Amino acid sequence: MKKIMPPTYFMALLALSVLLHFFFPLMKFSYSPYNYIGALLIILGIFLNFKADSIFKKSKTTVKPHLMPNSFEVSGPFRISRHPMYLGMFLILFGAALIMGSLTAFIFSFVFIALMELLFISEEERNMEKAFGKKYLEYKKRVRRWI
């Protein structure tokens, strides 16, 4: 059975946040010009995703969370987050929600975090521990899961 990957959840939640914002906006709380800070978060999120993805491609390791990694990366965005791609996707969702400014849109940012925690992160971290042992456990002590 083919698993639904994190980018699919991300795209679905982004689409839902935009659609529901326009059809069922709840409590507007972000106003111009402050809501444009969301654009900076979106740019940062895109950057994190591209940077982490390029590191994975360079080291020829998998980005699929259920597969066993063959490379242990600690450079670039992996110095600040054990899961910079998930963090990047969250920042994009949160930034879009900030631009829209309604509570409806914000909810999906946090749904994304919950889904990643429940469906992917624990398995990924178990695989990293199996593959890299003490080296990964020491990394876990130094670098936080999200930020």
Contact 115, 12 (CB under 8 A): no
Tens of pLDDT, residues 75-132 = 999 999 999 999 999 999 999 999 999 898 999 999 999 999 999 999 999 999 999 9
Tokens 């360079």 found at: 58
Q: Give the contacts of 138 (CB within 8 A, at least 6 positions apart).
A: none
Class of domain 15-22+29-142: mainly alpha
Report the pLDDT value the prediction gives residue 28, as an integer from 0 to 100. Answer: 84
The domains of the chain are located at 15-22+29-142
- Residue 117: CA count within 13 A, CB half-sphere: 9
pTM: 0.94
For tokens 């402050």, the residue is 34
Q: What percent of the chain has pLDDT over 90?
A: 84
pLDDT, mean over the chain: 94
What SS3 string covers the chain?
Answer: CCCCCHHHHHHHHHHHHHHHHHHCCCCECCCCCHHHHHHHHHHHHHHHHHHHHHHHHHHCCCCCCCCCCCCCCCCHHHHCCCCHHHHHHHHHHHHHHHHHCEHHHHHHHHHHHHHHHHHHHHHHHHHHHHHHHHHHHHHHHHCCCCC
Q: Which residue is listed with tokens 């106003």?
A: 31
